[in-house]
Every structure is written in C-alpha cells, then in structure tokens.
Amino acid sequence: MSKRAVLYMRVSSVDQHPESQLHDLRTMAAQRGYEIVREYTDKISGTRAKRPGLDQLLHDARRGQFDVLLVWAFDRLARSVKHFLELLDELTHLQIEFISFRENVDTSGPLGRAMIVIIGAIAELERNLIIERVRSGMRRAKLEGRRLGRPPLNVDVEALIRDRARGLSFGHLAKMHGISCTSVIRVLQQANSQGAAA
C-alpha cells in the first residue's frame, strides 16, 4: 500500500506563484510512489505566526490523515530554526516522515534525522553571526563619529509653531516647510513637551 503524502507550499507575497514548488513536489511524490491526498498553500511571510495552510496541515496530521509531508525547502515550512525543530519534533512524534526537496533530506532514516539537527544548528549560528556583524558595524560607526539613522530635520521650529498658531493644517505646514506631515506633528509635539518642561 502506497504512503499517503501531503505537499506544503509557501510563497512570501501574493505576486509570487507556488506552481514551480508544486511541480517539483508532485514529481518527487510520483517517483517515490506516494499517493498525494492533499496540498496546502500559504501566501504569507514566513515570519508570521498565523498561517492557515500550515495550521490546517497540523490539524490533519494530528488526526492521522497522512504519512509523509513534502516541502520544497526548510524555510518554506517554518519561520525560525526553533519553530522548524518544534514542527519536526511533533511530526516525528506523530510518526510522519518529512522530506525536503531542496535540501534533499528525508527523516525516515537515522541519517536524515541527524542531518536535520545539524542543519538547524548551522542555520542558527549563521543568523547569530549576521546579527553580531550588524551590531559590530554599528559600534564601529559610532566610534568613528558617523551618524546612524535618519539625518536630523533642518526645520525652523519657531516659524512652524507660528504658522500652526495661524490655524494652518498639518498638510499645509508640511508643504510650506518641505517636510512630511508626520515630521510636522513630531516637531510640534517635541516643542510642546519642551515648553511644558520649561
């Protein structure tokens, strides 16, 4: 009896199409003699916690509706290494095999399960190194006296306050002073709080 397989695709925005992922996964399932019982798709960012397709997949997994989960790549399934390993742990507990097309990993054997842990650890390390490089760059820029973030606004605060007192709208003030409405509001709020403090 052939194993019941499901496919999970995720694309990060509505202008991307899951068809290429779908083609690869259907081909893989056919080569292995799996019967595809369902396909799940989410068109949403990987960092979002709520994903209707993945939620439905897990719901069906807990009810024993399939034996194998095929995904195109690790990052299509989970939003972080921790989340990925949690999902794998649950699938293993439910005795569901996990197969990734891009990484060529299959958890049906001990080598595949070991590879998952190693890959997870490497991905975590890589992300931590990127974070540390960014922090290091920011520290160096600060030591060299380089300014971080947006340049300061070059605006005549007193003129802005006077114009606002004349009853001009935020939109009008923004055009007059060559800044955004948000900046107008922020400058006026800062001036009010400094005036109140004085």
Kindly state whether residues 13 and 67 are assigned to the same domain. yes
Residue pLDDT, tens place only, 76-86: 888 777 788 88
Q: Are residues 110 and 185 in the same domain?
A: no
With cut-offs at 50, 70 and 90, classify the pLDDT of residue 69: very high
DSSP characters over 143-158: HTT---SSPPP---HH
- Cα–Cα nearest to 28, from 10, 11, 1, 5: 5
Q: Which two tokens stand for residue 69?
A: 């989960």
74 located within any domain? yes
CATH of the domain at 38: 3.40.50.1390
**pLDDT in the model for residue 33:** 95
Whether 48 has a pLDDT exceeding 60, the answer reads no
Q: pLDDT tens for residues 135-183? A: 888 888 888 877 666 666 778 888 888 888 888 888 888 888 888 888 8
pLDDT in the model for residue 154: 77
Same domain as 172, residue 81: no
Same domain, 108 and 193: no
Closest CA to 169 of 155, 157, 181, 178: 181
Same domain (yes/no): 109, 13: yes
Residues 34 and 79 in one domain: yes
Q: Is residue 149 part of a domain?
A: no
Question: Which pLDDT tens digit goes with each residue over 83-137?
Answer: 888 888 899 889 999 999 988 888 887 887 787 777 777 777 877 888 888 888 8
In a domain, 11, yes or no: yes
- Asked if 100 and 168 sit in the same domain, the reply is no
pLDDT, position 148 = 66
Q: What tokens were used for 61?
A: 């997994």
- CATH number, domain at 185? 1.10.10
Catalytic residue among 2, 12, 13, 193: 12
Residue 193 domain flag: yes
85 plus 165 within the same structural domain: no
pLDDT above 90 for 189: no
**Has residue 19 been placed in a domain?**
yes
Q: Give the pLDDT score at 65.
A: 97
Of the pLDDT bands very low, low, confident and very high (cuts 50, 70, 90), residue 26 is very high
Is the domain of 67 the same as that of 164? no
Q: Is residue 56 in some structural domain? A: yes
- Looking at mean pLDDT, say which of 31-35, 44-48, 146-150 comes out highest: 31-35
Give the domain extent around 171.
157-197
What's the residue count for the chain?
198
93 in the same domain as 161: no
In the predicted model, is pLDDT for residue 5 greater than 70?
Answer: yes
Q: Is residue 132 part of a domain?
A: no
Kindly state whether residues 12 and 104 are assigned to the same domain. yes
Q: And the tokens for 198? A: 């004085």
Answer yes or no: do 118 and 173 share one domain.
no
| Residues 55 and 7 sit within 8 Å (Cβ to Cβ) | no
Domain membership flag for residue 131? no
13 assigned to active site: no
CB 150 within 8 A of CB 182: no
- The number of distinct structural domains making up the chain is 2
